[in-house]
A and B are shown apart, each in its own frame.
Chain A
Amino acid sequence: MVGMASVGIRIRERRVNIGLKQSELAEKVGISASYLNLIEHNRRRIAGRLLLHLADALGVDPVALSEGAQASLVARLQECAVYHGVDITGDGAAADLAARYPQWAQFMIELDRKVRQLEQAVDGLSDRLSHDPHLATSLHEVLTTVTAIRSTSSILVETDDIEPEWQNRFHRNISEDSQRLAEEAQALVGYLDGAGSDGGSVGSVWDELDGFLAHYEYNFVGHDLSPDGANALCAVPELKTRSGNVLAKRFLSLYAKDLADLGDDEFRTALDKMGQDAAAIAAMCQVPISTVMRRLAFSPREWLERPVGLVACDASGSFFLRKPIAGFHIPRFGSACPLWPLFGALQTPMRLSEATITHTGREGGTFSVQAYADLMPGQTGSHLPIIHAYMTITPNHQDASPSFKVGAACRVCAISGCKSRRELSILSDDL
C-alpha cells in the first residue's frame, strides 16, 4: 500500500507540476482519464510498460516513479526518524513526504548523514579530551601559564603603589609567559590539527599499532613473517617510535603463531563448513578459540561472509588489540562500556560467551559478539595468571534474538538508568 500511494502521488504531483491535465496525460499513454484518476488516487497498481509510458510522458526516469526507489527512500526516512527518536505516527507518513517532496526527503537524509558524522567526531574528540595523556598535559600547561599571566597582570592593574622594581619584574614575567603560552598554544593546535585531518593520527603507541594494522588492511596474507620480513613490514610511516615498532612486531609474532596453528587453507575449509563460529572452528581444527577469533578478525574481507571486528584487553581491562568495525565505536583512550561481554569474559576465563548487543553509539547497530578469555601462566613469583580477553564483533541484520544495549563509554553514552554508569554523560545528566 505504501508503494501504491507513492507511485500514484508522484504521478499526480509531476503531472500538475508540468501543467498537464489528467485527460491530456491519459491520452498520451493510451488509457482513459478515469483510469488515470484511479491510479493517481491509489486505487490501481501499475508497473511495466504503462509505468514506462507514464514516465516518458511526464519526462522523468521510470525509477523516479517506481516503488523500488521510493521504498528505499521511505525506508531510509523511517530509519532516520527511529535513530533520532522522532515518533512519526501514522502509516504512510514517510512515504507521503518522499512522494510529495522527494528533494526535501533527500535533503533530510543527507542532513542525517552529516549529523551522524559530526556525532562520531564528537565522540572521538570527547574521548580524546578526557583521556589523551598528551592532550591533558598540554592543556594543563596552557592553563598554568594563563594563570600566571592573569595573576601578574591583575597585580599591575590593581596595585597603585607598586615599586618600580616589582613592576619591571612583573612585566618581564608577563612577557616570558606570553611567549610560552604562544608556543604551547601552537603546539596544541598542531597536535589537534594532526589528529583531525585523517580521522585520527598517531597520538600514542597504540595509535601507531592501529595505523600499522590499517596500513595492511588488517591481514598479512602472502607476506614474509620471518624476522627480516617483519622488519620490512614495520618500515611504514605509521610506526614512528621504537615502542610502536615493538608492538607491531609482537603482533606479527602472534599472527605468525596463529598461522602456524591454523593455516590459511585449513581455516578457509573450516569457514566453508562451520561459518564464522569460532567455537565450532576451534573444535574442528583442534586449536584454541582465541586463535580462531584472531584469524577471523585478521583475514581478508573476501574470505568472510560478514565483516568481523575485534577488541582485546588484558586483566586490567586495557585494550591491547583493536580492529574497528562500522557502527561499533571502540574508545581510543580511557575505559569502555562495562557492559561489553569482553569484560564479562575476564571473570569466566576459558569459557566462550555469546550475545546479541545493540550499540547505542552514533551509528550504532545490532551485533553478534563472541567473548573468550585465555588464561596463561603468570610471572615468576606471582600467583596471578595472565588473562587476555577477546571479543569478536559481527553485524547482525537478521537475527531476531533479544539484545541488550551497550554504549561506547559512559561519557558519551545516552543510556539512562544504567547501573554500571561510571561518570556523567555529555549527552544527559543521568548518573
Chain B
Amino acid sequence: MGKSVLLIEDEPNIVEAISFILSRDGWSVATHSNGHDANQVIEDKSPDLVILDVMLPGKSGFDILRDLRSVGAKPDLPVLVLTARGQNKDRELAFELGASDFMSKPFSNGEVLATVRRLVAG
C-alpha cells in the first residue's frame, strides 16, 4: 500500500507483533516508546495513521491526543487508541479528545489490521 503508520507503544513485544503484521500487509511502520516527545515525533514522521497507547511513560496517550487535536496542525490525522483501560468512560474520553477509533487490550491482530485499513481508506 505504501502508507505509513506510527506506533506509539512502550511494550516491546506488542510493538514487535503489531509491526510484524502491519509490515506483512505492506505498511511502513515507525515506532516510538515514550510520551515525552511523542507529539514532536508525530510532527516529524508525518504518518498516515497513528496507533497510540494510553499508558505511556512521560505523557499519557490522552494528553498526546489532546495536544495533537488542539495545538498540532493534524486535525484529520487518523488516530487509533489502544488501551488496557477498557471501561466506557475511557472510551468516551478517547472519542471526546478526538480519537478516530478505540480498541481495548487484549485485541486480535485481525481487528487491528482491519481497523488500520479502514481508517486510512476512510
In chain B, residues 77-120, which have Cβ atoms closer than 8 Å to a Cβ of chain A? 84-85, 89, 105-110
Q: Contacts A148-B13, A169-B16 hold; do A423 and B107 have CB atoms under 8 A apart?
A: no
**Distance in Å from the Cβ of B17 to the closest Cβ of chain A?**
4
In the complex, whether B55 has a CB less than 8 A from a CB of chain A is: yes
The answer to whether A173 and B106 have CB atoms under 8 Å apart is: no
Which residues of the partner chain B approach A159 to less than 8 Å between Cβ atoms? 24
- A140-B55, A155-B109 are contacts. A147–B24 as well, Cβ < 8 Å? no
Is B30 among interface residues, defined by CB-CB distance under 8 A?
no
Contact B84 A148 (CB under 8 A): no
Nearest B residue (CB) for A156: B17
Q: How far apart sit A143 and B11, CA to CA, in the bound complex (Å)? A: 11
CB contact list, A143-198 vs B, under 8 A: 143-148, 150-152, 154-155, 158-159, 166, 169-170, 173, 176-177
Nearest 7 interchain pairs by C-beta? A151-B17, A143-B84, A148-B13, A147-B106, A147-B105, A173-B13, A150-B106
Bound Cα distance A154, B16 (Å): 13
B41 at the interface (CB under 8 A from A): no
Q: How extensive is the interface on chain A, given as a class?
A: 20 to 34
Sample of 19 further A-B pairs with CB below 8 A, known A154-B108, A154-B109? A140-B84, A143-B84, A143-B105, A143-B106, A144-B55, A145-B11, A147-B11, A147-B84, A147-B105, A148-B13, A148-B14, A150-B106, A151-B106, A152-B13, A152-B17, A154-B17, A158-B109, A173-B16, A173-B17
A interface, by DSSP: helix, strand, loop or mixed? helix
Q: Is A26 an interface residue (CB 8 A)?
A: no
Whether B11 contacts A144 by the Cβ 8 Å rule is yes
State the A residues within 8 Å of B (CB). Answer: 139-140, 143-148, 150-152, 154-155, 158-159, 166, 169-170, 173, 176-177, 423
